[in-house]
Amino acid sequence: MTDSILFTVDNGLAHLTLNRPTRLNAINEDAARTWLSLAQQVAERDDIGAVLFDAAGPAFCAGGDVAEMSAMDGDSAATIGELADIIHAGHQIFLATPKPMVAAVNGAVAGGGLGFLLVADYIVASDSSRFVSKYADIGLTPDCGVSTLLPEAIGMRRALELTLSGRSLSAAEALDWGLVTEVVTADETDARARAVADVWLTGATAAFGQAKRLLRGGTERDFATSLDDEARTIAAAAATDEARARIAAFVARSARR
C-alpha cells in the first residue's frame, strides 16, 4: 500500500503530492487523515518556509472517492461528515499558517478538488487542465471549503454558475475567471511552480509568509482588527535583521539613482 499523500522537506520547501493516481487522486479516509496530519506538521516545523503542492498522474484531484464512499459499512452519511470535518481542519491550518503554498496543476480538478486547489495561495495550471463542479451529478453538495473559497476566488455569480451547471472551464477560462494565477504548458508546470516557491525561499521568506497570513485572515474579521494586526506585524518585521538589511540596501540603491 502506497502513501496517499507523499511528503518531503528540502531546503525549507515542503512538497506535498496527492498520490492516488489510479483513483484520479480522489480523497479517501486515509488521504483525509494524512492531509490533516501534514497540515499540522507544516504549521509546526520551523524548517519549512513554503509549500509546493501537486499530484501524481493524469488528474489533480477528483474530489471525494465516491466508490469508497458507496462501499462504506454502517452510517455512511455520518462517516462522510466526519471525513469532511477532518479535511476542513487541515484546510484551516494550511490557510492560517504563515507559509505560502503554490500548486502545480495538471489534468482535471473536480468537486472537492476545487477546495484543495484553492487552499494554495498561487496556482500554476497547465494549459490542458480543466475545472468542474459535478457535485449535483451525484446528489451531493459543496465541501472542502468550496462554498467559501470559490466565491472568494471568482465572485459569487461565477461560483454559482460553475456549481449549478455542468459547465467545465478550460485553463484559459479559469485564468480569465481568476480561479488560477497563471497558465503554462504541461511540461513547464512543475518547474514554474518550483520557481515561484524559490522566490519565497530566497527572498524575504518571513515577510512573504506574514503577508499571506494577513491577506487570508483579513477576509474573516472586521477592518479595525485587520488594521491592528497589520500594525503589529509590520512593527515586528521592521525589528528583524532581515528587514533592516533590506531597507538599508533599498535606500542605498535609491541614493545612486
Span 233-253, pLDDT tens digits: 999 999 999 999 999 988 998
CATH numeric code, 5-201: 3.90.226.10
Average pLDDT, the chain: 94
The one-letter code for the residue type at 32 is A
pLDDT number for residue 135: 87
Cα–Cα distance between 80 and 64 in angstroms, integer? Answer: 9
Residues 6+ apart with CB under 8 A from 106: 54, 55, 58, 59, 60, 125, 126, 128, 129, 186, 189
Residue 57 backbone dihedrals phi, psi, to 5 degrees = 90, -165
Per-residue confidence band for 74, with pLDDT thresholds at 50, 70 and 90? low
User: Strand 122-126 relative to strand 168-170: parallel, antiparallel, unpaired?
Assistant: unpaired
- pLDDT for 140 equals 87
End-to-end CA distance of the chain: 61
Cell 516545523 sits on residue: 45
- What local confidence, expressed as pLDDT, does residue 136 receive? 84
Q: What is the pLDDT of residue 256?
A: 83
State the average pLDDT over residues 155-182. 96
pLDDT tens across 202-214, in order? 999 999 999 999 9
User: What mean pLDDT do residues 145-172 have?
Assistant: 96
Q: Are 59 and 99 in contact (CB under 8 A)?
A: no
Looking at residue 257, its pLDDT comes to 77
| Residue-level length of the chain | 257
Average pLDDT over residues 71-86: 80
Q: Is the pLDDT of residue 10 over 80?
A: yes
Q: State yes or no: pLDDT of 106 exceeds 80.
A: yes
Residue 5 burial (CB < 10 Å; 0-12/13-18/19+)?
buried
What is the model's pTM? Answer: 0.94
Q: Where are the domains of the chain?
A: 5-201, 204-256
Tell me the β-bridge partners of 54: 17
